[in-house]
Structure 1
Amino acid sequence: MPPTSILKDITKLKHPNSRKTKMVAKKAKRYNNRNKIKLGHAVKSNLMGERLAWFTDNMEQFGEQECLTPDQFAQLFEKYLNRFNEELETIYLKQSISKNRVNQHASRLSIIKMSMEREKGEYEGAGLELMDLCDPIKYKKFISWDGDSINLQHFKLERISKKYLENHNKME
């Protein structure tokens, strides 16, 4: 919703091709573009927040430690990459039961496959942006995180890849 000043200006306009009309249209366009940019940043931080929230929810298996070992982090990462397996199995089961429902969950299936392939490629290549949970200071900060995506800007995220974890394991 544009600000009230723009709405008032629109009601006062008399001719569609006047300079004043063009000025108000430019103002409204600038306002819309600014909101699109804000929305893009919010979506990105939301996605990162969901990813980090998944890691906090699934770290219970390691108990209370000072930090994770590279092997434990790799194990947690593999679990993250396979998080959609149950949903994929149910979709395949539903598709195998009835011939008429083969394309019933096609869009969800393609989204899951694309995201799994992308994340696996990033993990094996350049790496995914995450907190380095092998570092004790960052690990404590991550454990104390309240799950709010606004506080993500305070985290120093690194690209964590398979190669990075293997090199980190050799150092220890």
Structure 2
Amino acid sequence: MSADWHLRLARPEDAALMPAIEARAGRLFQAVEGLADIAGQHTVPVEQLQRLIRKGHCLVAHVDDRMAGWLANEPFGRELHIREFNVDPDFQQQGIGSGLLRACLIDAVNCGFRAVTLTTFRDVPWNAPFYARLGFEEVTALDAHPRLAGQLAAESGHGLPADRRCVMIRFLG
């Protein structure tokens, strides 16, 4: 089934709908060996989402009047970091995720960022392989990226398996 969808900048009131989509998308990790009890258990708090939205780089996608997905970014100097990215399972495989990510890249270029960064699972098909298809590369020299190394360490401290996580970057322009 293909749906007509549109995207726009997120508004503070959108934050209330985002955790439910994140939770539904997170359930997909239950089918990934070794991640059933880890991923998708905790959603980003609404207050944190509202803070990110106020920074002006978060996007939402809608199918008719229903939010189908969202992407929350946070600026760090000349880099835009993808904090969280979810597409409701009811709307996956319809180009919404890649559309949100492409719009994020356009926004980043237009705002003068030099790169977009993220952390993700290296071996989950809709994680690192998805980003790689859209031009992201794994960062292997983490000593050159202390902020991102710190992000990975924090994720490990919250129970995510360090050996399966990676940092990815897409340089712009």
TM range (shorter): under 0.3
Q: More strand by proportion, 1 or 2?
A: 2
Higher relative contact order (CA 8 A, sep 6+): 1
Q: More helix by proportion, 1 or 2?
A: 1
